[in-house]
A = this chain, B = another copy of it.
């Protein structure tokens, strides 16, 4: 399928679908999670498609740049072979290979055993695996959390040994048919009243999302990141809209449809950004739209109170993204902490754990972390964005040359896969050392994709982080790497 909507339709008819796109956006999520596999021609290991696929455990091949998609004929070609919609292909997410036709698949014995299958649990491979993991867990100093955005992902993460959620993204809580009207109303609001109406519509829905997550992670910390992406990610594509307006206009179809499309285009154009990665997003949204983060904090706290009243133990950490200055975090806390206190008072509830912190994902934040730590309970390294800004590499755009860069050794390794020690790593070390020096109680973690990469986990151990957080499907890899890091340190010390 070449669109998320079609993937959803086919999947709901019981078909097994591989979604093929140039790239994916948060708008495609509903089609992605219903697909057996995802194939993109642009992007790479850290594109939206790759991150979602990893989080959901969906096989994916991303940035297959030999693939040319022709939406007109609903087909794609690669190296002279043409594949049409409905043809069967097989993809291998480990090797990046794409095969025409159906290849036999083999079931994983470990997955079977983990899901409780008794006969699989008696297999040698499972017993060896289980013993190895127990050993790693006994030795490791790093805790391992997972990046999980939904109750299902949280459950999966916990089954794999996650000791909390290090990153609960809230973007998806602004998507879906039910919510899109309220989100647009929020974005286009010209009065405080319109904005408040939008928040009032979103609040109860988001509260339910959080209740599900806190129940699954009972007794374990959950770091919720307040809304991060630029708002136009929640709106239609500008080129598509301009094309539609031009067609309606040229065809002489004057009327409400054209007027509505024109108005939407004008607003989308007003919000359009030259470099959205470096634009109005993260804490900047929280500052420009003060009701937004307040609504999210209220939803989180109301959910935590509900779970607490069920005798649960929700352990809440609220994370403010993309902070560059101490003052941003201080002012946001000043606005948001009273909202949290008010909910707790109204509900008559006390929580065992409620912390406020930030991501360290901008070089400016890394080198001024001593100041920022004065107003933070925790730091979480957002190494995806820190790598993007340190190198000046947009992960959406470097697919065109990163392959050549790796081949010619122009970069030490793919810095989105393994932490670049001399550059990004040095910034992390500065932030970690100076953050701790300024605030001895500071907790430190990492929630970028690197949290599941073994070499990067070793580095996180070396600079003394408290935990790594990674995709649920990589939790076991991270536990193992954390154990190896401790063992390796011990061995080199005893030499």
Is A392 touching B362 in the complex (CB atoms < 8 A)?
Answer: yes
What's the nearest-Cβ distance from chain B to residue A363, in Å? 4
Is A367 touching B287 in the complex (CB atoms < 8 A)?
Answer: no
Asked if A5 CB lies within 8 Å of chain B CBs, one says: no
Give the interface centre of A279, A324, A410 by most chain B CB atoms within 10 Å.
Answer: A410
Asked if A251 CB lies within 8 Å of chain B CBs, one says: yes
Knowing A279-B397, A389-B363, A394-B275 touch, does A368 contact B325 (C-beta < 8 A)? no
A73-81, A84-92, A131-139, A241-249: which lies at the B interface?
A241-249
Knowing A389-B390, A404-B288 touch, does A367 contact B427 (C-beta < 8 A)? yes
How far is it, in angstroms, between the C-alpha of A273 and the C-alpha of B391 when the chains are bound?
16
Is A324 touching B392 in the complex (CB atoms < 8 A)?
Answer: yes
Interface size class of A (residues with CB under 8 A): 35 or more
Per a CB cutoff under 8 Å, which of B251, B287, B405, B427 touches A250? Answer: B251
Asked if A124 CB lies within 8 Å of chain B CBs, one says: no
Q: Determine the chain B residues whose CB is within 8 A of the CB of A216 once the complex forms.
A: none
Asked if A396 CB lies within 8 Å of chain B CBs, one says: yes
User: What 0/1 readout, one digit per residue, does chain A (185-217) give for beta carbons within 8 Å of chain B?
Assistant: 000000000000000000000000000000000
User: What 0/1 readout, one digit per residue, does chain A (279-306) give for beta carbons within 8 Å of chain B?
Assistant: 1100010011000000000000000000
Is A397 touching B280 in the complex (CB atoms < 8 A)?
Answer: yes
Is A277 touching B276 in the complex (CB atoms < 8 A)?
Answer: no
Q: Determine the chain B residues whose CB is within 8 A of the CB of A411 once the complex forms.
A: 324-325, 327
Asked if A274 CB lies within 8 Å of chain B CBs, one says: yes
Is B385 touching A327 in the complex (CB atoms < 8 A)?
Answer: no
Q: Determine the chain B residues whose CB is within 8 A of the CB of A405 once the complex forms.
A: 287
Is B394 touching A274 in the complex (CB atoms < 8 A)?
Answer: yes
A147-155, A310-318, A416-424: which lies at the B interface?
A416-424
Per a CB cutoff under 8 Å, which of B284, B390, B400 touches A401? Answer: B284
How far is it, in angstroms, between the C-alpha of A389 and the C-alpha of B389 when the chains are bound?
5
Could you list 27 examples of A-B contacts with CB < 8 Å? A242-B242, A243-B245, A246-B246, A273-B394, A273-B397, A274-B276, A274-B396, A275-B278, A275-B394, A275-B396, A278-B389, A280-B400, A287-B410, A288-B401, A322-B392, A324-B392, A325-B410, A325-B411, A327-B408, A362-B392, A363-B423, A364-B391, A364-B423, A367-B390, A367-B422, A368-B426, A371-B422
